[in-house]
A and B are shown apart, each in its own frame.
Chain A
Amino acid sequence: NAGVTQTPKFQVLKTGQSMTLQCAQDMNHEYMSWYRQDPGMGLRLIHYSVGAGITDQGEVPNGYNVSRSTTEDFPLRLLSAAPSQTSVYFCASSYSNTAYNSPLHFGNGTRLTVT
């Protein structure tokens, strides 16, 4: 049972480059989301999806795009990387967005450095 799988684990980009962070879950979860974690700031929501074909912005969406063409996959695209996007990125999923007994399951993270 793989759970939430993120790739790559580490990435270094130059300013202006683009890339896609991959996230896949094998639990048939309807809700998926992307967070960034920065020192002293906790986790901040970038984008989320409540089902295939449905996405919405979170707290810090600028500079990032997402799509949800299948239930399993929720890639995060950086269109033109900036040093301010240096962070650790986490994908998280849950079988329901609102059920109180539905926990978030997190991937192991992608550490991104933009030089």
Chain B
Amino acid sequence: AQSVTQLDSHVSVSEGTPVLLRCNYSSSYSPSLFWYVQHPNKGLQLLLKYTSAATLVKGINGFEAEFKKSETSFHLTKPSAHMSDAAEYFCVVRGLNTGFQKLVFGTGTRLLVSP
């Protein structure tokens, strides 16, 4: 069985400061891990994915995430927040090489960016 926990429902940062969105996962076998972003009234867009290659994954818009097996974590970071980063972010897990029907979504973290 797989599960994912996003540790914060809301994160507030100032523009230009670092962003950290936390995600812990549980998987009985090698996982694939994803971060998706959802802007208001839009669908989800893939930010980045981990699929058993490099543990540090770079995504779009300056985001990156590090897979830490010992900590079962896949936290999302960005060195400097921009106003356009304000959105909801979802951490997602599935078994490596399994179908999308095995995707498990976290409950989301809303990122607020103030000027």
Tell whether A pairs with B: yes
Quick one: given A48-B101, A98-B99, are A108 and B42 in contact (CB under 8 Å)? Answer: yes
**Most interface-central of B32, B97, B98, B108 (chain A CB within 10 A):** B108
Are A41 and B100 neighbours in the complex by a CB distance under 8 Å? no
Task: Let me know if A40 is at the binding interface, CB within 8 A.
Answer: yes
- Chain B's interface size range is 20 to 34
A-B contact count (CB 8 A): 59
Q: A50 on the interface (CB 8 Å rule)?
A: yes
Contacts of B51 in A (CB 8 A): 100-101
Which A-chain residue is minimally distant from B108 (CB atoms)? A42
**Complex: how many Å from CA A108 to CA B98?**
26
**B98 engages A98 (CB within 8 Å):** yes
| CB neighbours of B28 from chain A (8 A) | none
Query: Taking beta carbons and an 8 Å cutoff, which residues of A are in contact with B?
Result: 4, 31, 33, 40-45, 48, 50, 56, 58, 90, 92, 94, 97-98, 100-101, 103-104, 106-109
